[in-house]
Structure 1
Amino acid sequence: MRQLITINHELHEKWRQVLFRTCIYIGVIIFVAEFFIFVFNKHDQPFSPVIIRYLIFYLALPTFLNLIFIVGAYFILKSEKTSEKAKNYTVALLFFLICACVQCFHYTFPAILCVPCIAVFITVIFLDINLTRLIFGLSYGSLILAFLIARFEADRAVEVIFLDCVVAGIMIFCAYLVATVLTRYTSEQAQSIHDSYLKQMELIQEAKTEPLTELLNRRAMVDVLGQAVYQDAESRKPLIMAVIDLDDFKKVNDTYGHRKGDEVLITLADILKRNTPGNENVFRYGGEEFVLLFSGHPIGEVVAMIDNMHQEFGAHDFGFNEGGKITFSCGIAEYADSGWSTSEFFEKADQALYLAKNCGKNQNQIYEKRLEA
């Protein structure tokens, strides 16, 4: 789940950057377009009051406002105090403000009045219906502002301007409806992918879990051990493996039955889990054999933890064996810098276990080079 959240944040960050750059491109395009429109008009009196007013109102002022919007959004997006949601809103509002600026300064073109539709559609990226509603409401506000400006500035009849605004309002409303449908569809699709991912992770976890003791199985141990062993030597923490095997477990099954044998396995698994830092380090290798993997602990500390397991397990009263004690033997190996493979590492701990069995059982033995002799 945490991984999915991280991916979602990274995806939003990526598209925030894309949208922010797009806003910059649009601002530049608008400036260039306004400049060429001015040149195309070929005014005969370049310094007349009409021309100066045109330059200020249609070129300088909107460009200045767009620059303020972009710079303000940049600092908000770069601030570490800005939340994920606030950054999404900032980019969407930046897009809207640039659209509204065009709408309010270039209302003489009816199509320009519909420009905020683009900002409404942009909100679909963030799958936030409240953000869509906010931009939709602001779009109507900017449309009303454009109408009021056009009413006092334009040469056209008020009725014509009003009709253009009504059409633009309908288009903005239609954009809002489509955006909400797309948001719901994309949200459901994302939820479906999320559910499928969780189900897949659950199946993978089940495939790596042994059902009786609920410990990770041999397959999971191979994966975890491989990741630990094949790390860079500089970053690898001290790695110790303990292979545990129940003493005379066949006699328990033959005498008391497999159900009682399962009880012994479950009890030992519980003791191993409770006494090992991190349940992910405990594995049922197969049958009555278990593996413990310790990372970042000195071997003396590991031996002390396993001694506690011996004491707790040996003192457990199973009831069915008339006060008899059930024990286990343990072989311990510390990963050396000699480049052991995972199978070689396991073999070293297994050799130590074999020695513990031959030396009387119910004890620990630590692998040493002389064991290979």
Structure 2
Amino acid sequence: MLTTIQRRIARDIFVTFFLSLFVITMLVMFVGVAREAINQGLGPVGVLRLIPFSLPNALSLAVPGTALFSVCTVYGRMSADNEFVAMQSVGISLLPSIIPAVLLTAILSITTVGLINVAFTWGFHGVQRVILSSVEKIAYNKLQRDHYFQHDSFSMSVRAVSGRDLVQPQIKIDRPGAEPIRISASTAQLSYQADDESLQLSIANSRVDVGGVASLVFPETFVHTIPLGMDAQVDLLVAHPSHMAMRDLPTASQRQSDDICRRENGIAVHTAFSILSSKIDAIANSESAQRLSEINRSRIRLHRLGTEMHRRWASGFTCLAMSLIGIPLAIRMKASDTMTTFGVVFLPTVLIYYPIFALTLDMAKNGRLVPQGVWIANLVFVFASILMMRRLVYQPA
């Protein structure tokens, strides 16, 4: 059961946090997301459809900084008013007054983990669907403004745009493992097909070149369909780890490990058969090099899958780590100016926490560090905060 002082501190942190979070989130959504979407030609209706899917990501980014701002505001004001000095003068320790902030930021950290998971999965795919449904309008606006448009492996440049007609388009379609397709035409039109989430390209009087190998002429209208949609069934062996639900990560890791074992067994069988049949050259040919390259890519993806779960939890608990640093620094500064306190406290976070987190995350993804290594930045901040709080309690300023 919280004491009267603890309840007051918790209430002040709670009110400050949600007021600040509302303001910051609105700024991020309407100044950042909405402005960029309108500049890309999405339109007001598209922006409104985009906001719900962008909200989890905006909240997950805003919560850690807002929590730090809240604890700096509350504890900095209390220290400036000598409330902590009064508590210590009557024999009350500072530690109980820190408990509300620790509990609230721990709850916020767990909530942030959930927001990150939602933003990386539901939010990401929702944004993709909104953009795909507006790709025709985006393409025409960009072609009219820049005379160039690109989406994944498809790129197009035009001389001019007249209504729906694209004048003298030059089209390039890249194909993995094959020569690119280049198309030049007198006119073309784009239309989005919602039933199969594809972009239909109608080309009149066109010439098609396939990597200099073949050349075809189509004097009449030629229709080419460009698939844009995402597969409804997520393949755990090829899906990007960052856009997978946390519940699917363990299964994906197991399937990736099984796939690596299967590939290694295949190489072992191929090598043994080559030795038995005295075909030594077959051991180190281009096909064998390709198999080794595929195994290396599979191993890197396995490292990414193993790191992704720890990455999301460590990113969420940035909220707690930052707040634990902010509490003793705000008390020690004794400044009633909230922005000054927040600026001074936020500086070590920018200069220390995020570089360490980015470095350990990159090393863990490449297999040079165990996946749990992404927690190093959090542990450094927690350890530093314990030392500062201990000094604050036993050696008060």
For Structure 1 versus Structure 2, the TM-score category normalised by the shorter chain is under 0.3
Larger radius of gyration: 1
TM superposition score normalised by structure 1: 0.26
Give the TM-score normalised by the residue count of structure 2: 0.25
User: Which structure has the highest strand share of the two?
Assistant: 2
Which structure ranks higher in relative contact order (CA pairs < 8 Å, sequence separation ≥ 6)?
Answer: 2
